[in-house]
Structure formats: structure tokens, C-alpha cells
Amino acid sequence: MLISGQSRIVVEPGDEAVTLYYLLDISNTARVPVNPPGVFMFDMPKEAIGTTIMQGSTGKASVTGTRVRVQGPFPPGSTSVQVGCELPAGTGTVNITQTFPATLEQFAVIVKKAGDTVVRSPQIARQQEFPADGEIYIASTGGAVSAGHPISIDVSGLPHHSRAPRSIALALVAGIAIVGLWSASRPPSDTPEAAAERKRLVAKRDRLLNEVVRLEQDRRNERIDEGRYVTRRQELMAALEHIYGALDSDDAAGGVERADAARAAARPGELRAS
């Protein structure tokens, strides 16, 4: 029993992540069902998020965390196991290290090219680019890889953004309680108008921070597409920057004039907190 040459490893770049697919064709060349000595199982890369058995796979395939199992016996012919997951690629580079419990008859990797994508692996013997459906793909092939021998694939030049906005968002979320305590400990403003304006800004800040939390949760749970996520995050960060600037300037000026100016600046990017 082996993983036939019809099997493929497919990588599709996204925004600061890649989707990894194993399209495995497990071949039993015997004329009778075969039960391997041990359970056919393997672990996805340790960074894998959301490992899933895909439609079209045998019903004997299951996943727990990042561990994939295929229960025997294997009937004569082919058994399809298709697995997908996401790998973080915030630096523009991702390393995939994988071992399989059976010999891979032929190493074959297909990577969708995005920008300056480069694919490297000690298992690559041949590599070429080809167009398909308006996209460019990098196809890499090599020889057989024995059972238990690690496959190593490096994909670099992937599209990614500065990690500063996300770090800011996480820092803001983590600092909600601290900011609340700081606000509570501030001396009262000089005028009722300034106090009312500050109360409005603090309330709006808290609503936006809660929306940042929900946005990050929606992305992690794949409830929002990447384009909408990036746009909304930028809007939230810009609005929060205006509000924190207003709160800080109120510390220095102590008057309504600075708060009013910040309010006017924030109004073009005014957001509804859902």
C-alpha cells in the first residue's frame, strides 16, 4: 500500500496566511482489502489551523485537532483522502514539514503564484510555471519519498501586511481594563461641556474596541472574507486613533476646544458600533 503518484500538495496564498491541501490517493494494488499493521495516520504541520476532512474523501477518514486518521481495511484500488488547513504567513514566508505513514510515489506540489512567490524544497527535481483560469501556478515535482521521511517545502515572497495594525488591535483589546481604570482615576474636567464630551468619546472608544474583538473573532472563525476584514480593521484603527488623540489632547489642553476639534476630525470616519 502506498500514496500514489496521483496525489498532490496544493498551496493557495491568502492575506498573511496560506491554505494547504493534501489531495492523497492511497493505493492498494492487492486484489483483496488490506489492513496495515498500524492505523494510517499523520499529523498536519504544528501551525495548522482548522484542519478539515474535505468532501470527496473516504468516510473512514477523520480528524482530531491536527491529527488525521484513516481507518482500515483499505479496499483494492484507490482510497481518496483530502485534507485542508490554514497556516499563518504573516512574515511572507511559510515552511511546511510533513511526514506520511506510507511511501509517497511521486513528490508533486502546486502553488498558486501571488506576487514574487518562490517555492523551494530539497525534494524538487523539476519546476515550472503554468497558467490556469487566469492565474499563474508553480508546479514542482520530484521522486518518491519513503514512509516516515520528512517532506520540507518553503514558500516565500507571499503577500503580507505590516503586523503593526494587528499588534495595535490586540494591544487595545488587552488594555481595555487598564484604560478603564485610568479613565476612572482622572480628575474631573474643568467644565460640564468638557466632561460630557469626554464621556461621549470614552463610550465610543469602548464600542469600537468591542467591535475590534468581534472582528478578530469573526476572522478566526472564518465568518468574514479577507477583503472585508482588512477594510473594516483599517476603519476601526483610524477611528480609534482619532478618539485616543482627542482623549490625550484633553489631558494637555483641559478645555472643550481640543475635544471639539477632535470630534470634527473623527466625524468623517464615524462608525456604527454593531
CA–CA distance, 200 with 189 (Å, rounded to integer): 13
Q: Which of 152, 41, 42 shows the shortest CA–CA distance to 97?
A: 152
Given a contact cutoff of 8 angstroms between Cβ atoms, the answer to whether 81 and 70 are in contact is: yes
Give every CB contact of residue 71 below 8 A, 6+ residues apart in sequence: 39, 40, 60, 61, 62
Looking at the structure, tell me whether residues 206 and 90 fall in a common domain: no
CA–CA distance, 210 with 207 (Å, rounded to integer): 5
For 64-68, 182-186, 203-207, 228-232, which range has the lowest pLDDT when averaged over its residues? 182-186
What is the residue type of 153? I
Distances (CA, A) of 250 to 175, 191, 217: 20, 12, 32
Looking at the structure, tell me whether residues 147 and 174 fall in a common domain: no
Looking at the structure, tell me whether residues 58 and 111 fall in a common domain: yes
Q: Among 116, 136, 156, which residue terminates a domain? A: 156
Whether 125 is in a domain gets the answer yes
67-70 and 61-64 as β-strands: parallel, antiparallel, unpaired? antiparallel
Strand ordering across the sheet containing 151-156: 94-98, 151-156, 118-120
Rounded to whole angstroms, the maximal C-alpha distance in the chain is 89
Looking at the structure, tell me whether residues 145 and 180 fall in a common domain: no
In the predicted structure, residue 198 carries a pLDDT above the cut 90: no
Question: What does the pLDDT read at residue 210?
Answer: 74
What is the residue type of 254? G
Q: Over the stretch 100-144, which tens digit does the pLDDT of each residue have?
A: 999 999 999 999 998 889 999 999 999 999 888 888 999 999 999
Given a contact cutoff of 8 angstroms between Cβ atoms, the answer to whether 138 and 110 are in contact is: yes
Question: What does the pLDDT read at residue 103?
Answer: 96
The pLDDT of 192-202, averaged and rounded, is 79
Query: Grid coordinates 514539514 are at which residue?
Result: 97
pLDDT above 90: percentage of residues in the chain = 46
CA–CA distance, 267 with 233 (Å, rounded to integer): 17
Looking at the structure, tell me whether residues 122 and 86 fall in a common domain: yes
Q: Please, which residues bridge with residue 53 across strands?
A: 83
Looking at the structure, tell me whether residues 205 and 248 fall in a common domain: yes
Helix (H) or strand (E) holding 113: none
Instruction: Give the number of domains in the chain.
Output: 2
> Residue 102's domain spans which residues?
2-156
Question: What does the pLDDT read at residue 190?
Answer: 57
Q: Among 132, 156, 180, which residue terminates a domain? A: 156
Q: Over the stretch 205-219, which tens digit does the pLDDT of each residue have?
A: 778 777 877 777 777
Looking at the structure, tell me whether residues 89 and 21 fall in a common domain: yes
Cell of 66: 491536527
Looking at the structure, tell me whether residues 97 and 46 fall in a common domain: yes
For 18-27, 128-137, 146-155, 241-250, which range has the lowest pLDDT when averaged over its residues? 241-250
Looking at the structure, tell me whether residues 144 and 177 fall in a common domain: no
Cell of 135: 492565474
Question: How much is the mean pLDDT over the chain?
Answer: 80
Question: What does the pLDDT read at residue 62?
Answer: 95
Looking at the structure, tell me whether residues 187 and 141 fall in a common domain: no
Looking at the structure, tell me whether residues 141 and 170 fall in a common domain: no
Given a contact cutoff of 8 angstroms between Cβ atoms, the answer to whether 35 and 73 are in contact is: yes
CA–CA distance, 34 with 63 (Å, rounded to integer): 21
Question: What does the pLDDT read at residue 232?
Answer: 85
Whether 274 is in a domain gets the answer no
Q: Among 105, 133, 156, which residue terminates a domain? A: 156
Cell of 163: 503586523
Predicted confidence band of residue 267 (pLDDT cuts 50, 70, 90): very low
Looking at the structure, tell me whether residues 17 and 109 fall in a common domain: yes
Predicted confidence band of residue 161 (pLDDT cuts 50, 70, 90): low
Whether 141 is in a domain gets the answer yes
In the predicted structure, residue 234 carries a pLDDT above the cut 50: yes
Give every CB contact of residue 239 below 8 A, 6+ residues apart in sequence: 208, 266, 269, 270, 271
Predicted confidence band of residue 174 (pLDDT cuts 50, 70, 90): low
In the predicted structure, residue 179 carries a pLDDT above the cut 80: no
The pLDDT of 171-196, averaged and rounded, is 56
